[in-house]
Every structure is written in structure tokens, then in C-alpha cells.
Amino acid sequence: MENFIVSARKYRPATFATVVGQNHITTTLKNAIRNNHLAQAFLFCGPRGVGKTTCARILAKTINCQNLTPEAEACGKCDSCVAFQNNASFNIHELDAASNNSVDDIRNLVEQVRYPPQNGKYKIYIIDEVHMLSNAAFNAFLKTLEEPPSYAIFILATTEKHKIIPTILSRCQIFDFNRIQTQDIANHLAEIAKKEGIQAEPQALHLIAQKADGGLRDALSMFDLIVTFSANNTITYQKTIENLHILDYDYYFKMTDFLLRNDLPQVLLTFDEILKKGFDGHLFIVGLAEHWRNLLVCKDVATTQLLQTAEEVKKMYVNQAASMSASWLISAMNILQQADIQYKNSKNPKLLVEISLMKIAHLQSAIELAKISNTTPSEDSKKKKS
């Protein structure tokens, strides 16, 4: 039986061109390699799963490549590249600062730096989770980081830049990694699904991408989980919401229609159905507020592009947004915001949500009454005219 390799490892980028959603980083690094403007120390910062360690490894492989391509990419065929790909390179050293954070660990690293590379031009030291180093370890590292030998390059990676002491920051060239856009993650998942022979619905991939919150590794982990859950190599939207325990957007569309029609019985029955399915009331009001934010975005063609979802769902949002006013949406979102704040302190959270929904259900009639009162002349004004 062949060993299973998770997608995050199997499809880990091997060149700058295959890194997802970090063009500003990869372009700068390729230009630095092409023009021989390499800094002595790099600091890669950003959220988890966005490609910091991956870019560090690609950079380390590329600067020691013996046959660089015209695009400043590693060839993948020379002795240095092959050694790196087989985890047998003596020029690239990785240190996990989470478990090697003492002064002695840094002293050992500094001792290694004294010896030049036997093959290749550079010795590269990748230190992951560098913020975990102790203050004493940081201080022991300062002098070497500031004035390393010409053949030594340090690449530091961290998710918590604010924990690194300023004296270290001032000695590094800092690169801030972005959260990866939902569409970029969805496109990457679609490519992997195609390579693996998996039929995947676009809505399902968008949902995974949204749930990942900008982290590609999280998205790939969820993707693997849902593929395992689906026995016939088919990822559907329905299976995805079941596996990730996400409330179907159909409920939000239905609830909005019932509230607009002031159909209070259906509003309460639908909310009860959501609770019986095991969803939390707080999750529901947060999701409904997000749904109305999306509707508000769809009120104008210029802002529709801010909606990060599949095209079919986008059309549903645009159609529903056309049937309601912006004033209704803003007022309804304000009521939900108050319920969100009060939820944790409420002794009867279900009743709190139900009262909030009742208020929203009567919003439309309140808006219409306000319009009538504004257009109908008051009794005082009639007497003055007469």
C-alpha cells in the first residue's frame, strides 16, 4: 500500500513561479538574485500557512543553483539542486527556534558559521519561528547577524514580528507576507483537484478557501479531509458544509426573504430548525450579518467585486439585493450587532436572537410608516396654510 502524502507537502511549491499569492515577495527575491543584491539576513513575516518557510527554502536552493534559468529560477537538475531536493545538502541548515531557543543552541549555530562551504557559494541558515528565541539567545546572535562571513546568509521566519527585538529587526531585510486571496486559493485547489482526478464543485472550493482565512496550508488540509470524506472522488458543496459544519447560505437567503415579508412564523420556525441541526445561535447571527454585508456590497456594481464567492452565488446575492433598500439592511445589521454584543452575557440567548429577529421583521413596515409621515403634511402645517 502506497504511503499517503498530504497535499500541503505533495504540492509544495518548488520554484518562485509556483508560489501562490505572494508576487510582491517572489519578484523582489528574483530581482535580488538576478542583480546579485542579496542581503546578509532576511526576515519573512506573516500569518501561518502563507508560504514563509517555502519561500525561504526556494531562496536557499536558488542562490546556490549552478545553472540558473533566465527567469532567475533554480534549474532543479544541478548537483546543488538535487542534493537539496534529496535533503542531503550540506550548505542549507534549518533550525526550529521553538525547540532550539537557548543560548547554547545559538552558540552552536555561530560556531558552524565559521566554516566556509565545501561546495557551492553560500551557506544558508533558515531559522523558523525565530520569535521563540530567548532574549539571551537573540543577544548572542546579534554580532554574527550584523557581520556574518561573505558566504553566510540567514533567513528568519516568524508569525509574530512584534516579539522580535528591534536590534534584530534593524539588521534584517524585512518581507511582509500577505494573507492569500480567496480566489487564488480556490484556483489553486481547482488545479490540484484536476491533477488528482477529483470532480470538485466551484462553490465547494470557494467555501474551503473562505474558511481557510488566507492560509493555503489550512485550505489544503480541509481539502484532503473532504476528499477522504467523499468516497467517490467528488467534492460537492453539500458534503463540504456537512464536513466543515458550516451553515448553508440557503438558510440566510430564506431568512432574509421571510424577514422582508414580515413572515414571523416562518422566521421563528427556520431559526428553530437551524438550532436543531446543532448550530449555535451566535454563529447564526454572525453569519446573517455577514450575509447582509454581502447584500449591501451588491447594491452597487462598483463594489460587487468585493464579494469573494462563486459566480452562481454572486448572482443570487445581486438578485436579492435588488429587492431591498440599503436603509433596511443598515438598520437590520445594527440590530444584529447589538445582539452580537449582548449574546455572551444573556441568560436566554435563544430569546435574545428571537427578539432581534422580531424587531427586524417589523423594520419594513416602520420604514414605510416613516415615509408616509414625511410625505403627508402635519395638522399644524395645514392650519397655518388655511
Same domain, 85 and 109: yes
Confidence of residue 121 (pLDDT cuts 50, 70, 90): confident
- Distance of alpha carbon 340 from its chain centroid, rounded? 23
Same domain, 203 and 258: no
Q: Which of 176, 204, 220 is the last residue of a domain?
A: 176
Same domain, 13 and 56: yes
**pLDDT tens profile 285-333:** 999 999 989 888 888 878 877 777 777 788 888 888 888 888 888 888 9
Q: Is the per-residue pLDDT at 104 higher than 60? A: yes
Roughly what angle, to the nearest 10 degrees, separates helices 182-196 and 202-212?
A: 130
Residue 1 lies in a domain: no
Q: Which amino acid is at 194?
A: K
Same domain, 309 and 201: no
Same domain, 240 and 253: no
CATH number of the domain residue 364 falls in: 1.20.272.10
Q: Which of 244, 263, 278 is the last residue of a domain?
A: 244
Indicate the pairing of strand 92-96 with strand 152-158. Answer: unpaired
**pLDDT tens profile 138-178:** 888 888 888 888 888 899 999 888 888 888 888 888 999 98
**pLDDT tens profile 331-344:** 889 999 999 999 88
Q: How many domains does one find in the chain?
A: 3
Same domain, 166 and 292: no
CATH number of the domain residue 194 falls in: 1.10.8.60
The proportion of the chain whose per-residue pLDDT surpasses 90, expressed as a percent, equals 9
Poorest-pLDDT segment among 48-57, 83-92, 172-181? 83-92
Same domain, 197 and 303: no
Domain of residue 41: give its range.
7-176
Residue 385 lies in a domain: no
Q: Is the per-residue pLDDT at 380 higher than 60? A: no
For 13, the grid coordinates are: 511549491
Q: Which of 140, 159, 176 is the last residue of a domain?
A: 176
Q: Which of 49, 50, 45 is nearest to 21 (CA)?
A: 50
Average pLDDT over residues 275-289: 89
For 85, the grid coordinates are: 531536493
- DSSP letters, 368-379, are HHHHHHHHSPPH
Residue 378 lies in a domain: no
Q: Is the per-residue pLDDT at 64 higher than 70? A: yes
Confidence of residue 368 (pLDDT cuts 50, 70, 90): low
Contacts of 122 (CB under 8 A, 6+ apart): 63, 64, 91, 151, 152, 153
Same domain, 287 and 360: yes
Quote the pLDDT of residue 139.
84
Same domain, 25 and 154: yes
Confidence of residue 1 (pLDDT cuts 50, 70, 90): very low
Q: Mean pLDDT in the chain? A: 85
Q: Is the per-residue pLDDT at 383 higher than 60? A: no
Same domain, 213 and 85: no
Same domain, 267 and 350: yes
Same domain, 314 and 338: yes
Q: What's the whole-model pTM score?
A: 0.78
